[in-house]
Amino acid sequence: TPQVASTKPPKGECFFRSAVYQGDVSKTVDNIICDRWDAHLLPNDTLVQMFPDQSLKGATNYCRDPDNKGHPWCYISGHPSKTWDFCDVPYCPECYYAHQSHEYNGYVSITNNGECSNWTGRFTDKFFIDGSIEKAKNYCRDPDITGWPYCVTSHGFTPCLISQCNGTCENDPATRCENLMPMICQSEHLARQLCPKSCNMCGFGLLEPVYRHPPVHQVNYITITISTATSIRTQPPATTIHTPLPTTPK
C-alpha cells in the first residue's frame, strides 16, 4: 500500500465523529460568532443529553453536533435566512502504521461499500486490540492480522477508508499512561490531540486536517466528507479482501 506522510497531532481543531467533538471553535464557516446554546435550548430539552459536555453551560457557544448532522454546527443570530450554520472545523483523517495494522484502534467505521456492521459473532474477544467485541463496536479493525484495517459490510469483509502512515511509531515511555488514559484518552477529541503515540500502543496516527465546506445537503454528509478527503490519502483495494472466516477462528 502506498504511504501518506503522517504528522504530529494537529495543534488546531479537527473532528472525525462530529457528535463527540469537544473542541472550542465558536464561529461558523461564514465567520459568524456562535450564540450560546442555552439561549436557544432549555435545560430539559431532549437534545441536551446528547452534548458531549453533558450540559448547556459546559458547551457555552462552542460548535457541537448533538443531533448528528454530520458536522459541528451552532445557532446564530442576525442572519436574514438562517438560525444556525455549520462551523469552521476541519475533518481530521486517521492513518495506521505499517506492520501494526492489528493495533489500529481508531474510530473509522466506513468503507467504499458503506457503513461497517458490528463485529458480534465474527471473532472472540481476544482477537481485538480493544479487549472485547463490545468495545470494538463497528470500528475498522484487523483482528486476524491481514495487513490493513477492515470491517464487515453487506458485501462481506471489506477494507476501510484508512491510509497507511509514513514512518514508524514508538510509544513514549515518559507518558504516565495510567493517569492519561482514564482522564484524557477516553475523549475522542482529546485522544487524537494527545494520545496517538503514547497510550494507544501506536493504535493510529493523524494526517493533516482537511478543510471542506459542509455540503448544502446534509444527507450522507459523513460519507461525502470522507470520500472527498481521499485526495491526500491512499486506500487498500476496494474489493473484498477476505474469504469467509469461521465464527470462532482458531
Report the distance separating Cα 232 and Cα 119, nearest Å: 29
Question: Where exactly are the structural domains of the chain?
Answer: 3-10+91-232, 17-89
The x, y and z cell numbers of residue 161, run together, are 477508508
Torsion of CA 151, 111, 192, 65, to 10 degrees: -110
Report the distance separating Cα 152 and Cα 224, nearest Å: 20
Is the pLDDT score of 218 beyond 50? no
Is the pLDDT score of 66 beyond 90? yes
Report the distance separating Cα 34 and Cα 25, nearest Å: 9
Residues contacting residue 85 through CB under 8 Å, at least 6 positions apart: 28, 29, 30, 32, 73, 74, 76, 79
User: pTM higher than 0.85, yes or no?
Assistant: no
Give the architecture-level CATH label for domain 17-89. Answer: Beta Barrel (2.40)
Report the distance separating Cα 43 and Cα 51, nearest Å: 12
Q: Once rounded to an integer, what is the mean pLDDT over residues 63-87?
A: 91
pLDDT tens profile 171-211 = 666 655 555 444 444 444 444 444 444 455 567 776 777 76
* pLDDT range class, residue 229, cuts 50, 70, 90: very low
Q: Mean pLDDT for the chain?
A: 73
Strands (E), 16-103: 73-75, 84-86, 94-96
Is the pLDDT score of 133 beyond 70? yes
Alpha helices in the chain (DSSP H): 56-59, 133-136, 177-180, 188-194, 221-228
DSSP symbol at 84 = E
